[in-house]
Every structure is written in structure tokens, then in C-alpha cells.
């Protein structure tokens, strides 16, 4: 491999989020609020062999971090087989998963054995009644069992991702930090984003980074920012007792300038930004017989032309509304976050 593959803004191609299914076993109000969804055709879903092959092509071009996403990735039968294939790729120095945790208790050990490096669990509330309202499923106990299974399986560096929504769960910031400390896990608070699927989003419901910090300082005292030079989306902070946590401020203080992330959907469409309305089809050429050099040319061409700064563009809008209305999502399910891997 020659030097890094850079986009038009000098950002390297490095970090791939690989969605393995568009299905989910929750129906969170900020992601899947509808009763009915249009699912990707089964025959279009990449097999594990196809996905691993494409990841290998990406690795040739500089991708060294892969995160498995969905939908809910553990709904994909036998995911451990894909983990083992990717884990054998020595060029991937980070192989992680983001899961809602429901199926994690029974799978954590096998995922670890298969070669997974790190786990992030989405956890928006610790209150069973609220969990039920927010996700339309009664599964908090399973999620908590799943979280407990992660350190037991030998993983370190567990993260808990919380989407903070005003009037829904913004009174749980401290409880979540305390819970994280007990696991142990680092909590990351994510500002509510106006992405595809969030059809009920409004700016009033966003609790910004500044407000979260102010509330936590009132509770814990002085909070120190942790200075780091990574392209990770979270800014990290330390409480006076040493507990650390993160804030992902995609809505009020986006970090597009350093963004090295792209997303491959379960059916092989490659998106260069969370907010991109069009993806580059890799499945079609691949199944049509394109070899590694042709695929590399397609990927390199796409990345070199990339100018996306979706969250910054959204911030610059005056009167901000949901990105896509329900009709648009039904016409093109690839605009949904649960298809694109959030």
C-alpha cells in the first residue's frame, strides 16, 4: 500500500462501520418510531464471505478500524463466523461492535473467542418503565445481563452509548455515570441527532454538550477535559474522583474536519457520511465480477472526491427540521439510520 487514501479535505480513509443487518429487536423512538418498515431484500444482503472480502479491499486502501453495526448486529445468525474472518485480518488493529445488548449475555464469550476486540452497548436509561416506553420492548433486564457478561468474557474498554433527549432521559446523566463506574464501563453521552429515521426530532429536545457539562459540574464539581489526539467522535472528560466519560456533540459542535469514517450497508452500499443521501454501490460491481483492482479504483475514486461535512452543514442551517420525512424514508430505506449503521 502506498500512502493513505485522502479525501478532498485531506481526511484519510481509515474507519469503516460495517452494517450486517437492517433488522432490530427494539423500536427506539429516536430511530425506529414507525409501525412498519421497508426491509432490504434478503438476496441483496452480503454473505459473510462477501463482506470479509470487501473489508480486505478496504484494508488494502488503509482501513484499519472496523465496527460491526446494524440494525442490531447480533440478530445476524452466526455473526461470530464473520468476526473470526475479520479477526484473522492482521491489518485490522481495531475490531469492535455496537449492540443494544439484548442478545449479548449468551454471545459475549463466543465473540471474544472469535477475535472481537471491543464492545459498545447502547443504553439510554436504567429505568425499566422508561426503557419500555422508549424502545417499545420490555428488555432492560436482558440488556443489563448483556453488559455484565462483557467484562466476564474478558473484554476491557467497554463503552455505554446514551442518546440524551430532553424530557425523556436527561435526568439520568449522573445515574448512568454511576452505573458505568460499577460495571466498569465508560459512558458516552450522544447529543440527539437529526439523522434519517429521527422523524420526530426537534432542536428543543437536544441537550447540548455545554448543558450536560454544566449539570454534571453542579453534581460532581470541577470537570477536566482530557486532551487527546484521536479522531474518535467523543470528547472525553474526567470527574474529580477520576471517573471518565465522553460526550459526542454531533449536533452542537460537529467534528467533520477529522472524520475518517464511512459506512457499508448490509447490502453493500457505501456511504461517505452519516448524512449522505446517496451511496456508492459496491455489491453490484462485486457480484458482477469486478476484481480487487476494479473495486479499489471505485473506492479510491469515491473517497478522493469526498467533500462531505454533513453535521456541519446541518449546523449552518437556520431553521433545523428532521433530515428526511417519513415518505422519503419509505421510498429509500437506505436513508434510515438502522440501515446505515448509525
Residues 283-322 that bind ligand SF4 (CB under 6 A): 308-311
Minimum CB distance to ligand SF4, residue 299 (Å):
16
- The DSSP symbol for 39 reads P
Residue 324 sits in the site that holds ligand SF4 (CB under 6 A): no
Task: State the nearest-atom distance from the C-beta of 102 to ligand SF4, in Å.
Answer: 26
Judged by CB under 6 A, which of 96, 274, 298, 323 binds ligand SF4?
274
Out of 54, 119, 185, 259, which residue is the one contacting ligand SF4 (CB under 6 A)? 259
Shortest reach from residue 321's CB to ligand SF4, in Å? 17
Between 8 and 331, name the residue whose CB sits nearer to ligand SF4. Answer: 8
CB nearer to ligand SF4: give 14 or 107: 14
Name the residue among 336, 339, 195 with its Cα closest to residue 264: 339
Residue from 101, 180, 254, 341 binding ligand SF4 (CB under 6 A): 254
Shortest Å, Cβ 251 to ligand SF4:
10
Please state the closest distance from residue 291 (CB atom) to ligand SF4, in A.
Answer: 29
The footprint of ligand SF4 on this chain (CB under 6 A) covers a number of residues equal to 12
CA 196 vs CA 45, 67, 193, 340: distances in Å: 21, 20, 9, 9
Among the listed residues 20, 273, 298, 337, the single contact to ligand SF4 using CB under 6 A: 273
Q: How far apart are CA 83 and CA 68, in angstroms?
A: 9
Closest CA to 255 of 234, 229, 276: 234
Sequential DSSP letters for 270-285? EESSTT-S--EE-HHH
The residue range among 164-172, 208-216, 270-278, 282-290 that interacts with ligand SF4, by the rule CB under 6 A, is 270-278
Closest CB to ligand SF4 among 46 and 193? Answer: 193
Task: Give the shortest CB-272-to-ligand SF4 separation in angstroms.
Answer: 8
* Smallest separation, CB 316 to ligand SF4 (Å): 12
User: 232: Cβ–Cβ under 8 A, 6 or more apart, which residues?
Assistant: none
Alpha-carbon distance 235 to 342, whole Å? 18
At 224 the three-state DSSP class reads strand
Give how far Cα 160 sits from Cα of 107, 163, 206, Å. 17, 10, 19
For 293, the 3-state DSSP assignment is helix
- In this structure, are residues 244 and 186 in contact, taking their beta carbons and an 8 Å threshold? yes
Q: Is 255 in the site for ligand SF4 (CB under 6 A)?
A: yes
Among residues 14, 117, 209, 261, the one that binds ligand SF4 under rule CB under 6 A = 261
Question: How many other CB atoms sit within 10 Å of the CB of residue 325?
Answer: 10
State the residues that interact with ligand SF4 by CB under 6 A. Answer: 254-256, 259, 261, 273-275, 308-311
Amino acid at each position: 500500500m502506498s500512502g493513505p487514501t485522502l479525501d478532498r479535505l485531506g481526511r484519510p480513509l481509515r474507519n469503516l462501520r460495517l452494517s450486517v443487518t437492517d433488522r432490530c429487536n427494539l423500536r427506539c423512538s429516536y430511530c425506529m418510531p414507525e409501525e412498519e418498515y421497508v426491509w432490504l431484500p434478503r438476496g441483496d444482503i452480503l454473505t459473510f464471505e462477501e463482506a470479509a472480502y470487501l473489508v480486505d479491499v478496504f484494508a488494502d486502501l488503509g482501513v484499519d478500524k472496523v465496527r460491526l453495526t446494524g440494525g442490531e448486529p447480533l440478530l445476524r445468525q452466526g455473526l461470530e463466523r464473520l468476526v473470526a474472518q475479520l479477526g484473522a485480518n492482521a491489518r485490522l488493529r481495531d475490531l469492535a461492535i455496537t449492540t443494544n445488548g439484548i442478545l449479548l449475555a449468551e454471545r459475549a464469550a463466543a465473540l471474544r473467542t472469535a477475535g472481537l476486540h471491543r464492545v459498545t452497548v447502547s443504553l439510554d436509561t436504567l429505568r425499566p418503565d422508561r426503557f419500555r416506553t422508549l424502545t417499545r420492548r420490555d428488555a432492560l433486564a436482558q440488556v443489563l445481563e448483556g453488559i455484565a457478561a462483557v467484562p466476564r468474557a474478558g473484554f476491557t474498554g467497554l463503552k455505554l452509548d446514551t442518546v440524551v433527549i430532553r424530557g425523556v432521559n436527561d435526568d439520568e446523566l449522573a445515574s448512568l455515570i454511576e452505573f458505568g463506574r460499577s460495571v466498569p464501563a465508560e459512558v458516552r453521552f450522544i447529543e440527539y441527532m437529526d439523522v434519517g429515521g429521527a422523524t420526530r426530532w426537534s432542536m428543543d429536545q437536544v441537550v447540548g454538550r455545554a448543558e450536560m457539562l454544566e449539570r454534571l459540574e453542579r453534581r460532581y464539581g470541577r470537570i477536566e477535559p482530557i486532551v487527546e489526539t484521536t479522531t474518535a467522535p467523543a470528547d472525553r472528560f474526567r470527574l474529580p474522583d477520576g471517573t471518565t466519560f465522553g460526550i459526542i456533540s454531533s449536533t452542537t459542535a460537529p467534528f467533520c474536519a477529522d472524520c475518517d469514517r464511512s459506512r457499508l450497508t448490509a447490502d453493500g452500499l457505501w456511504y461517505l457520511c452519516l448524512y449522505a443521501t446517496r451511496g456508492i454501490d459496491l455489491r453490484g460491481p462485486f457480484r458482477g465480477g469486478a476484481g480487487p483492482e476494479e473495486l479499489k479504483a471505485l473506492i479510491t475514486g469515491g473517497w478522493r472526491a469526498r467533500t462531505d461535512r454533513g453535521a456541519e452543514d446541518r449546523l449552518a442551517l437556520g431553521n433545523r427540521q428532521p433530515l428526511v420525512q417519513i415518505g422519503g424514508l419509505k421510498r429509500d430505506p437506505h436513508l434510515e439510520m438502522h440501515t446505515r449503521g448509525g
